[in-house]
Structure 1
Amino acid sequence: MRFWTGGYTADMGGGADGVGTLLAGSMHDASAGGPLTYEGAAAPAPSPSWLARHPSADVVYAALEGIGKVAAFTRTGEAALARLGPAVEVGENVCHIAVSPDGGSLIASCYGDGRVVRVSLDAAGTPSNPVAGAPAANPYALPGEDMPANFVLGEASAPADDGAVLLRDFRASLAAAEEGRSVEEPAAPAAAPQGAGRVSHAHSAAFLPDGRVATTDLGFDLVRIWRPTASGLRPDHEIVLPSGSGPRHMVVHPSGHLHVVTEYSCEVFTLGRNREGRWVLLGGASLAAMAGDTAAELASSRDGDFLYAGLRGSNTIATVRVRGAGETVEPVALVESGVDWPRHHIIQRDTLLVAGQRSNDVTSLTLDLRTGVPGRVRYRAEAPSPTMLLPVG
């Protein structure tokens, strides 16, 4: 089975040459459990740190992070790509791309300037006409600073709906469990939210089952909900996560729930729709991370029963079980990833592939399909500064 690999090139301190290819077993294998071989560059490009595939055309999109553009590539061979049209400028440090299910557009998330940009795709998959959505506002703004009208400052600093109560109760229960006390006992005072020092950092997007789009803002602790329009994105509403949590990447559960991993607090939160159709916080779980860890990617098993989060620092993979109808998550295990700085990972049947950005390699771990827990490293291949793994087809 073959994978496209994203990576950092020299412009961002990496050793990659562009979009690469990785072989797991033979190219005709339906699984990724075989030996790993890095085959080299499929197409030159400056720091294609995130990749996404068109749903019907044989086209791959790359976030060229260092130059703030999105490029399209069409497949010209088993392991070769060629540019499709000119790269489209979207924003500073574009780090994520999500392509719409109908193939008519993509959403680019820009870490550097916080921009969320809709890019049109024509019938061939060629990108054009980037349109930025409304900028995010700081929900933890201090008195006197600008903040959006649909937020209220209070104990939870959350929207004025049932999500505020759930957020407060969940965080209180989590803090109590960590400190070994009952939830009725007072918790230690929380650090004061940062005000003007916060900076917007858009980090990912996901197309939701109801036709809307969710995006994360890691800097403002927001999950933003948008309605796509013919000309761009219209803000619908926003969900505030705990101060300093840093929502990064998301997974849509088969049930329709949305799971969000937070980079700084190393937690997984679950969002769902209330009776009014607004997305609200339902709960979450700590990943039992070690001091100094930052979470990276969040991936799901095919049936949605397990989630896997990469933790950079301890270089581990956290396994989380999903229960109920997708609304409940609980930690299961923490295992070694076998790489330094697990930037990205992907599940293929009974195999977990992990991209080690700093160790310049990719590892494969076999999953126990009963417990959901990855085993020890089975295979390893050297690969330059890998940041993303994407199945070829």
Structure 2
Amino acid sequence: MTRFWTGGYGPDMDGDGDGIGILSVDEGRGPSTLRHRGTAAPAASPSWLVAHPTLDVVYAALEGAGQVQAFARDGETTLRPLAPPVAAGEGVCHLAVSPGGRMLIASCYGDGRVISFGLADDGRLVEPVTDKAAALRAALFGGDEPTAERRHAASDPHPLPAGEDPRRSHAHAAVFLPDGRIATTDLGFDLVRIWRATSGALDLDHEVVLPRGTGPRHMVMHPSGHLHVVTEYSCEVFTLASDRAGTWGLVSATTASPIAQPGFDFPAELAASRDGHTLYTALRGSNTLAALRVRGGGESLEPLALAESGVDWPRHHLVYDGTLLVSGQRSNTISVVDLDERTGAPRDVRHVTAAPTPSHVLPAR
């Protein structure tokens, strides 16, 4: 039996979930047997989940509480807390774990902070050392020593039109780059930020400034070395590349779908096919799935197809066994959408199962 953990929203964020859920698919019978099997671990709005690369440990962003918590596998369909939740930042909405399993990055939508946590040998979260060191220096020598969280909040790179209210920083996602650096998006300030991890802390390397009002949200690292970034406000996918000096920049921009309507459609997740030839994003609003073909050496995209998602407000989707599993936040459902074997284009909705306010699906080992 193939299993998946599900993240979702609970009462503290106007949802119906009560923790991390469990989905399963019957072996040999295909994705049409997908069913929600109940709660794997009680938790308050675990809206995003990520797995440790080698341990049977799952990390949850408790978005409403602004906390991160680690859970260990405790049976076929259950998880147990490794330790109490650790404070992160307001509206923590995304987590990423380093390939070596020694660092976790938390992106906080509410206050724009990007926070690094160390990971112990057993997978437990280690609170940021830089914060404790800053607090000690302030106590010993006085002054307002900036903590890691304060340093990691961005500033708006775009001039503010006269009379317009200031914009807010909204960190939204992180990706570990092949050279060990980390890329993060700031949806509020239209930035992709490149970081270096130094002694467990994050040091800003440089920023890629995208056009004002685009709203970069989620990212996919392509096998070619290009970074694809979907934008929530302008309904585009930007492609970034690194030069020989390691500086990232914009190389192309493509509309997610010719009929996408900015202001009505709000792209959510960005996922890649197993062969890397196709990207998929979901348009909240029209509740559709848009596919884009990767061209050249990964540096350009073109719209390929558009299909119904089978859910309301498709917040996240996962490529699985020739299908997309799509989490419908407002419909309390997860759909199974067939992918064309030859082109990779999304086709018909094969199956829909009930799930409480789902926001994320993560394969379980």
Q: What is the percentage of aligned positions where both structures have the same residue?
A: 58
Which residue in 2 is equivalent to 1:263?
232
Compared with structure 1, are the counterparts of its residues 206 and 6 closer, same or farther at alpha carbon in structure 2 (3 Å cutoff)?
same
Q: How does 1:39-50 map to 2 (within 5 A)?
A: 39-50=37-48
Q: How far apart in 1 are the matches of 2:171 and 2:117?
A: 16
> Is 1:58 matched with 2:76?
no
Give CA-to-partner distance per residue, 1:1-35, whole Å, 9 cap, x none: 211000000010000010001112x1x45x96332
- Using the alignment, how far apart are the partners of 1:125 and 1:273 within structure 2? 32
1:138 to 149, 156, 159: 156
Residue 378 (1) aligns with residue 350 (2): yes
CA displacement, residues 144-197 of structure 1 (integer Å, 9 cap, x when unaligned): xxxxxxxxxxxxxxxxxxxxxxxxxxxxxxxxxxxxxxxxxxxxxxxx699652
Name the amino acid aligned to 2:159. Answer: A
Alignment check: 8 A CA contact 1:59 1:73 kept: yes
Q: Deviations over 1:341-388 (max 9, x none)?
A: 000000013111000000000000111121111111101100000000
- Secondary structure of the equivalent of 2:31? coil
Does residue 212 (structure 1) correspond to residue 181 (structure 2)? The answer is yes
Give the equivalent residue in structure 1 for 2:261.
290
Contact 1:85–1:126 at 8 Å: present in 2 too? yes
Query: How many Å separate the matches in 2 of 1:193 and 1:309?
Result: 35
Deviations 1:283-338 (A, max 9, x none): 02101213511110000001110000010000000000001111111111111001
What residue is the counterpart of 1:237 in the other structure?
206
TM-score, normalisation: structure 2:
0.91
Q: 1:196 to 1:99 in 2, by over 3 A?
A: same
Secondary structure at the aligned position of 1:34 is classed as: helix
2:117–2:200 Cα contact (<8 Å) kept: no
Q: Which of 212, 216, 219 in structure 2 is aligned with 1:250?
A: 219
Aligned residue number for residue 13 of structure 2: 12
Residue of structure 2 in register with 1:334 after alignment: 306
Take 2:193 and 2:102, find their aligned partners in 1: how far apart are those partners? 21
Give me the whole-angstrom Cα distance separating, in 1, the residues matched to 2:330 and 2:163: 31
Which residue identity does 2:229 align to in structure 1? V
How large is the RMSD of aligned CA atoms in angstroms?
Answer: 1.5
Q: Is the counterpart of residue 366 in structure 1 residue 364 in structure 2?
A: no
Do the aligned residues in 1 keep the contact of 2:271 with 2:319 (CA within 8 Å)? yes
Amino acid at match of 1:204: A
Question: 2:64 is paired with a residue of what secondary structure?
Answer: helix
Structure 1 CA distance, aligned partners of 2:229 and 2:292? Answer: 12
Kindly indicate whether the alpha-carbon contact (under 8 Å) linking 1:52 and 1:61 is maintained by their aligned counterparts in 2.
Answer: yes
What's the CA shift for 1:56?
0.4
User: Residues 128-167 of structure 1: matches in 2 within 5 Å?
Assistant: 128-130=126-128, 131-132=148-149, 133-142=151-160
2:281 is equivalent to residue 309 of structure 1: yes
* Alpha-carbon distance, 1:106 to partner: 0.3
Q: Distance in 1 between matches of 2:300 and 2:114?
A: 29
- Paired with 1:316 and 1:72, the residues of 2 have a C-alpha distance of 33
Aligned counterpart in structure 2 of residue 322 of structure 1, from 294, 307, 322: 294
Query: Between Structure 1 and Structure 2, how many residues are aligned?
Result: 341
Aligned equivalents of 2:165, 2:102: Cα separation in 1: 37
**Aligned twin of 2:68:** 70
CA drift of 1:45 comes to: 0.2
TM-score of the two chains, using structure 1 as the length reference: 0.84
Gap runs ≥5 in structure 1: 143-191
For 1:35, which of 33, 36, 39 is the aligned residue?
33
The answer to whether structure 1 residue 226 and structure 2 residue 195 are counterparts is yes
Mean CA deviation greater in 291-300 or 69-78:
291-300
Equivalent position SS for 1:11: helix
8 Å Cα contact 1:32/1:351 also seen in 2: no
Alpha-carbon distance, 1:230 to partner? 1.2
* AA of the residue aligned to 2:362: L
Alpha-carbon distance in structure 2 between the residues aligned to 1:108 and 1:378: 34
SS in 2 for 1:67: coil
- In the TM superposition, residue 275 of structure 1 has moved relative to its aligned partner by 2.8
- The answer on 1:97 being equivalent to 2:95 is yes
**Quick one: distance in 2 between partners of 1:79 and 1:141?**
51
1:52 & 1:45 partners in 2: Cα distance?
A: 15
Match of 2:142 in 1: none
Q: Quick check: 1:302–1:349 contact (8 Å CA) kept in 2?
A: no
